[in-house]
Amino acid sequence: MSAPNSKASPRSASTFADAIDGPSAFDGAEDLLRSWGLGIRPDADLTVSQWADAHRMLGSRASAEPGRYRTSRTPYMREIMDALSPSSAVQRIVFMKAAQVGATEAGNNWIGFAIHQVPGPMLAVQPTVELAKRNSRQRIDPLIEESAALRERVKPARSRDAGNTMLSKEFAGGILIMTGANSAVGLRSTPARYIFLDEVDAYPASADEEGDPVSLAEARSLTFAHRRKVFLVSTPTIRGLSRIEREYDASDQRRFFVPCPHCHQFQWLKFERLRWEKARPEAAEYHCEGCERAIAEHHKTAMLEAGEWRATSIAADPGTVGYHLSALYSPIGWLSWERIVRAWEAAQGSDEAIRAFKNTILGETWVETGEAPDWSRLYDRREAWKPGIVPAGGLFLTAGADVQKDRIEVDVWAWGRGGTSWLVDHIVIEGGPDHQGAWAELTKLLDRTWTHQNGARLRLAKLAVDTGYEAPAVYAWSRRQGVAQVAPVKGVEGFNRSSPVSGPTYVDVTDAGKRLRRGARLWTVAVSTFKAETYRHLGLPRPTKEELAEGVQYPPGTVHLPDWVESEWLKQLVAEELVTVRTKRGFARLEWQKLRERNEALDCRVYARRNVSTTLRQWRLNFKLGFTPFALVG
């Protein structure tokens, strides 16, 4: 047994020497020293915009203008990108914007800058996981492949143990995780120094029922304290519901001020000051709010170069800055003032198109007008035509049925060009869903005809029946009638303008509870969308008798009500009001609340309106195939 302080044996000494001098150990020590050096190195003085100008390359795969990235092309993005740089003390950057102004590329520049200059964990969130995958393929992969500074830091996905997958990109000193706002697991997967939240207004209210996606994501960065950066970007949506507007309103609300080429007064661009002659969008000019002289679009390049961001409010959090930008600032060659004017003129008469214009071109929220119209005003506006007669402008009929305990109420509406509508009939069928006689009377309506003012006879193109009360009975009756004319519907709260009607889903139980292999086809209706539309259309201005005599037309979407309709029905039509309520978590949402108990007329209107788009699709198909519209009898 050797003494405690005896020398090591030659063999052990050799092994020790190999351990410190061997090539593999030396390489490991070198990597350790390199990583240690990166860890203590201060953040780069380079800003994101400087890095982008020096290193970012745009390929034709992901850009309409391939080549070297130039911040000078979109000067308004310089300050926003530089606020994302380590040299800026700002922690949260909010950008409420129009579509296609360069925000996504600025966010990608930030990602590239972080990988190359200040590596650390980064989280990039899209509205859904599928969109995150698409963004990875279409944006992030080209970002890495087309910039040499990034190619050498992120190994190709095909190499072994690359750490490069669809939703994660590993690099020395950090990792980029991409996920969707609908995935709570993705949002809480790892701490993140950098967080890029793209199109936040499209995020769901809750991620897998675990809470607000923005809050969940931002919680990942709290351990990084003052070194964290959070970039929230989106086109806005609906006033009171828009996340990006709420964040912008809490910021210092910066606007991009540009000088007039004539008087040099600085101002931020407003759509109201864009002027043009009627039917001549190509003559669009901007009028200075100082000297009122016309500014041609070719001046825009110099104006943008001389522009500057100015705060218009005081932020609730000094670590947050907010920016707003409309498409009026789009550089020459992108979205022109002429195209903006054409888009505005084309949107007239369509609430959907005007809303899209405000959101995507002006970068502003859409205000839902949910204030209940005065029923007495509607009473005074009634027009004279007989019950059951379809006025001259009506092209087809749809109906909505509301099932009550002791009756079924049905309203028949005629629809014309531009969404104009006329109430043609109001029918009350006595006896509730337990009475077969009531269902027999409802069945007769499917074969009934209504006389058009020109003498033709029209049948119902579609009848939608509410399943909110005694749904199994409604399903059973609907199955017997088939899908050609009848659609059982379920109303759900909330706005869904892109798809206000969804389905169908098959309901596979009978009224006796027996399971069926193939049940009734149930459609889901986002009733908030159609209620708000109805109220807007009820409030449209009407031409005077003198103007009508001169040939002035009613506005598209006008709701015509007959003089035989009673005050009780009108009160039901305006029985609800849209209000803003706060959830337990403190977030705002819009909710329809009853002003009075009975609202059957409004429900029937919504369900009849649900049928319009499906009827028009069928009409187009019929005409394409050479058939007579199926709603026309003779």
Residue 34, pLDDT above cutoff 50 = yes
Residue with tokens 């039901």: 572
| Encoded tokens for 341 | 């004017």
C-beta atoms surrounding 374 within 10 Å: 13
pLDDT at 620 over 70: no
Mean pLDDT of 33-55: 74
Domain 378-625 in CATH 3.30.420? The answer is yes
Q: Using CA atoms in the order 494, 497, 498, 503, what is the torsion angle rounded to 10 degrees?
A: 50
- Mean pLDDT, residues 509-535: 74
Residue 585 has pLDDT above 50, yes or no: yes
Contacts of 528 (CB under 8 A, 6+ apart): 493, 494, 495, 578, 590, 592
Higher local confidence (pLDDT), 35 or 208: 208
The predicted structure's pLDDT at residue 626: 42
CATH architecture entry for 48-253+313-325: 3-Layer(aba) Sandwich (3.40)
Q: Are 229 and 299 in contact (CB under 8 A)?
A: no
Average pLDDT of the residues in 389-403 = 93
Q: Where in the chain is the domain with CATH 3.40.50.300?
A: 48-253+313-325
What single DSSP character describes residue 100?
S
Q: How far apart are CA 248 and CA 92, in angstroms?
A: 11
- The partner residues of 399 in beta bridges, in order of sequence, read 412, 463
Query: CATH 3.30.420 spans which residues of the chain?
Result: 378-625
pLDDT at 159: 53
| Residue 485 bridge partners (DSSP) | none
Q: Which of 68-72, 276-280, 479-483 has the highest mean pLDDT?
A: 68-72
The tokens describing 495, both together, are 């706005």
pTM: 0.66
Strand partners, 308: 257
Distance CA 477, CA 91 (A): 60
Question: Please, which residues bridge with residue 235 across strands?
Answer: none
Judge whether 628 and 564 are in contact, CB under 8 Å.
Answer: no
pLDDT exceeds 70 at position 2: no
**In Å, what is the CA distance from 71 to each residue of 49, 151, 255?**
6, 22, 18
Check the CA dihedral 73-79-85-91 and report its sign: negative
- What is the rounded average pLDDT for all residues in the chain? 84
d(CA 382, CA 542) in angstroms, rounded, equals 12
Complete edge-to-edge strand list for the sheet that includes strand 407-415: 501-509, 515-526, 486-492, 460-466, 396-403, 407-415, 421-430, 559-560
In 3-state terms, what secondary structure has residue 143? helix
**Antiparallel, parallel or unpaired: β 121-126 and 174-180:** parallel
Strands 57-58 and 92-97, how do they pair?
unpaired
pLDDT interval class at 18 (50, 70, 90): very low
pLDDT of residue 515: 59
R_g of the chain, CA atoms, integer Å: 32
Q: Name the residue with tokens 């190994």.
A: 155
Centroid of chain to Cα 332: 27
